[in-house]
């Protein structure tokens, strides 16, 4: 193996830059040429790539987003798009590829693997919905951002005796909301994996009011059955205690400088991905299992559905007294 490529795909996640840096510098140290491919699979199909030097990835470890840019490519979903991507790799004599992204991107990596490309995936997504890794790159930063903002919301909520509904990202997965709810001390957490009727939410809020709480925080996952606004409309009608307000965090959770945890995770995974390519262990994904970075076959990753540890839901409920 002489020349490898690296790309970031799907929703950006803090720490992707740190991972690209690790891929480039560990690749160069091993005597490889490393090509940076811009705009994910879209850039791969267009042949938008160039060699990266150690200096090109200087000063990026602390930056959020991805300097290679990213995309959700509709063209790559087609057979013709994927064939074109493989042709581009062959034209440039790129014989190994590191793909950093979430579930959709890793499914794309598996397709390339089946077409004979030596590929290693790295889980990068704030949602923490990639199977076979305890954490994906970006999750820790997103949680820190979320908890920082909810702390600020609590200040104003307590001052006005208000109930705030805070809607957080996570697509169809409740991880960010659930863990965010525990670490911010939320009164109620609403996630897709555990349906909870509006009446039950209202009674938890009423209880909190009666018990003398100065505020109530409800963290709502964007994929939950009811949106934060729908819950707020219901509470406004049924719960006379707290005044109700809604904050939708949105893409603010995807930005910002990566935490120490994310920088280290991204660095370790990027280096492991290059080692895996060199050792011929491709068709795999780097996964954090305990404190070890292990390789998992991409086939297993794409065939599994993300699961959520619901004992955390019981913990969140028990501690919201």
Assess 171 for contact with ligand F6P (CB under 6 A). Answer: yes
Binding mask 9-38 for ligand F6P (x = CB under 6 A): --x---------------------------
Residues 187-226 that bind ligand F6P (CB under 6 A): 222
Q: Is 102 in the site for ligand F6P (CB under 6 A)?
A: yes
Nearest-Å Rg of the Cα atoms of the chain is 22
Q: How many CA atoms lie within 13 A of 21 on its CB side?
A: 21
Which residue of 108, 131, 170, 181 would you call a contact of ligand F6P, by CB under 6 A? 170
Bridge partners (DSSP) of residue 289 are 292
Give me the least distance between CB of 288 and ligand F6P, in Å please: 18
Residue 176's nearest CA partner among 250, 101, 260 is 250
Interaction of residue 180 with ligand F6P, rule CB under 6 A? no
- Tell me if 39 contacts ligand F6P by CB under 6 A: no
Q: Which is nearer to ligand F6P, 137 or 205 (CB)?
A: 137
127 as an active site residue: the answer is yes
Among 125-133, 146-154, 263-271, 303-311, which window interacts with ligand F6P (CB under 6 A)?
Answer: 125-133
Distance CA 53, CA 28 (A): 8
**Nearest Cα to Cα of residue 219 among 174, 165, 152, 175:** 165
The contact pattern for ligand F6P, residues 56-95, with x = CB under 6 A and - = no contact, is ----------------------------------------
Number of residues binding to ligand F6P, judged by CB under 6 A = 10
For 305, other C-beta atoms within 10 Å of its C-beta total 7
Annotated catalytic residue within 46, 56, 127, 233: 127
d(CA 45, CA 295): 27
Shortest Cβ distance from residue 18 to ligand F6P (Å)?
18
Q: Is 126 in the site for ligand F6P (CB under 6 A)?
A: yes
Task: Report the alpha-carbon distance of residue 266 to residue 247 in Å, rounded.
Answer: 30
Query: Of 101 and 270, which CB lies nearer to ligand F6P in the complex structure?
Result: 101
Q: Which residues are catalytic?
A: 127
User: Can you give the binding site for ligand F6P, defined by CB under 6 A?
Assistant: 11, 102, 125-127, 169-171, 222, 254
């Amino acid at each position: 193996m002489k020349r490898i490529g690296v790309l970031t795909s799907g929703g950006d996640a803090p720490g992707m830059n740190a991972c690209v840096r690790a891929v480039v510098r560990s690749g160069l140290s091993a005597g490889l040429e490393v090509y940076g491919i811009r705009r994910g699979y879209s850039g791969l199909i267009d042949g938008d790539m160039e060699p990266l030097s150690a200096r090109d990835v200087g000063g990026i470890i602390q930056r959020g987003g991805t300097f290679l840019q990213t995309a959700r490519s509709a063209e790559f979903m087609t057979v013709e798009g994927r064939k074109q991507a493989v042709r581009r790799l062959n034209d440039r004599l790129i014989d190994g590829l590191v793909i950093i992204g979430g579930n959709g991107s890793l499914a794309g990596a598996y397709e390339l693997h089946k077409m004979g490309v030596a590929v290693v995936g790295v889980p990068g997504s704030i949602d923490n919905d990639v199977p076979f890794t305890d954490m994906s790159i970006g999750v820790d930063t997103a949680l820190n951002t979320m908890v920082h903002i909810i702390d600020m919301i609590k200040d104003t909520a307590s001052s006005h005796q208000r109930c705030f509904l805070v809607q957080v990202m996570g697509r169809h997965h409740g991880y960010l909301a659930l863990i965010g709810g525990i670490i911010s001390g939320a009164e109620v957490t609403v996630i897709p994996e555990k349906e909870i009727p509006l009446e039950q939410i209202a009674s938890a809020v009423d209880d909190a009011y009666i018990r003398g709480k100065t505020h109530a925080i409800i963290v709502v996952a964007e994929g939950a059955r009811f949106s934060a606004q729908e819950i707020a409309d219901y509470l406004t009608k049924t719960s006379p205690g707290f005044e109700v307000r809604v904050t939708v965090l949105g893409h603010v959770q995807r930005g910002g400088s990566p935490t120490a945890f994310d920088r280290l995770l991204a660095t370790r995974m990027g280096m492991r991905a290059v080692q895996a390519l060199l050792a011929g262990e491709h068709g795999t994904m780097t996964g954090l299992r305990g404190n070890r970075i292990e390789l998992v076959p991409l086939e297993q990753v794409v065939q599994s559905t993300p699961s959520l540890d619901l004992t955390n839901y019981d913990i969140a409920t028990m501690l919201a007294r």
